[in-house]
Amino acid sequence: MTLATLFTAIVSILSILVVFWTGLRVGGMRGKHNIEAPATTGHPEFDRAYRVQMNTMEQFVLFLPLLWLANAFFHSLPLLTGAVGLVWIVGRIIYAQAYMADPSKRSLGFTISIIATAVLLVLSVIGIVQAWMALSAV
């Protein structure tokens, strides 16, 4: 096990905790505003918490596989993958806090996390191309 893989694993756990936190917030808002499942609307505060959770889940589906693909294949800067993962987490937290306060202020957090996802995509592609070229050279 490398330090980069351990770091990526820690970032993975932290990102899962962020997703879990958004779900807990939705559950809390359901109770606070008496919104019974399966309803997905009902009070503006609940609606915002629900959208934060759904958007985070939508982004998480892209983020997590790219985090591990970059970790597996991009070795030029071994800790970069985990660092970019931390940036994604910070972006999601900023997004959640801003969206809950005022949905029109969500752009910064969204932009940070989507750029982090794009960087992981680029690192994954670079790493896969490098691995492909190394295999082809043999």
What DSSP string runs through 66-129?
Answer: HHHHHHHH--SSTTHHHHHHHHHHHHHHHHHHHHHH-GGG-HHHHHHHHHHHHHHHHHHHHHHH
Q: Which of 73, 88, 90, 92 is nearest to 5 (CA)?
A: 73
Assigned CATH topology for domain 3-130: Four Helix Bundle (Hemerythrin (Met), subunit A) (1.20.120)
**pTM passes above 0.85:** yes
- Domain ranges (residues) in the chain: 3-130
Per-residue pLDDT of the chain (138 residues; tens, 9 = 90+): 999 999 999 999 999 999 999 999 999 999 999 999 999 999 999 999 999 999 999 999 999 999 999 999 999 999 999 999 999 999 999 999 999 999 999 999 999 999 999 999 999 999 999 999 999 987
